[in-house]
């Protein structure tokens, strides 16, 4: 079994809490690291190793990003791509997309993910921040 992965949030990088043993993965916070590929590269590698071991698993991915820059976007798409392939291979992937109910940009990004990765079970979760 893979070792779980926890990376505390910083002002420019999100909290990463990947509990591989529970098939529960969380990305939360803001993402605008100076070097997005340095931050996400190792993460993506771990996710791919994890997914390679999954057979008919129920995997829950909770994404709650208040903000992310374009270089983060590219790497997030790489990660969602890996999950989509895992879903096509017979795993059940649920993506819970948390966003501020008033944030149209994040809502639309979620809709784009939903359209681009049809094998992933997408759940839109608007959150009221008032």
Q: Which domains does the chain have, with CATH numbers?
A: 17-127 (3.30.750)
> What does the DSSP 8-state code read for residue 38?
H
Q: So what's the pLDDT on residue 128?
A: 86
The predicted pLDDT at position 104 comes to 92
Structural tokens at position 90: 């017979």
CA distance 120 to 115: 10
pLDDT tens for each residue of the chain, 130 residues long = 689 999 999 999 999 999 999 999 999 999 999 999 999 999 999 999 999 999 999 999 999 999 999 999 999 999 999 999 999 999 999 999 999 999 999 999 999 999 999 999 999 999 987 6
The dihedrals phi and psi of 57, each to the nearest 5 degrees, come to -85, 155
Q: How far apart are CA 29 and CA 124, in angstroms?
A: 17
* pTM, rounded to two decimals: 0.93
């Amino acid at each position: 079994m893979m070792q779980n992965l926890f990376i505390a949030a910083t002002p420019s990088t999100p909290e990463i809490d990947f509990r591989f043993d529970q098939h529960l993965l969380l990305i939360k916070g803001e993402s605008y690291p100076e070097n997005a590929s340095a931050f996400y590269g190792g993460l993506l590698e771990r996710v791919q190793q994890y997914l390679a071991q999954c057979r008919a698993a129920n995997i829950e991915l909770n994404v709650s990003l208040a903000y992310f820059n374009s270089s983060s976007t590219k790497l997030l798409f790489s990660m969602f791509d890996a999950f989509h392939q895992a879903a096509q291979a017979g795993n059940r992937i649920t993506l819970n997309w948390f966003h501020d109910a008033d944030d149209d940009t994040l809502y639309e990004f979620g809709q784009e993910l939903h359209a681009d990765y049809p094998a992933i079970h997408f759940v839109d979760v608007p959150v009221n921040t008032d």
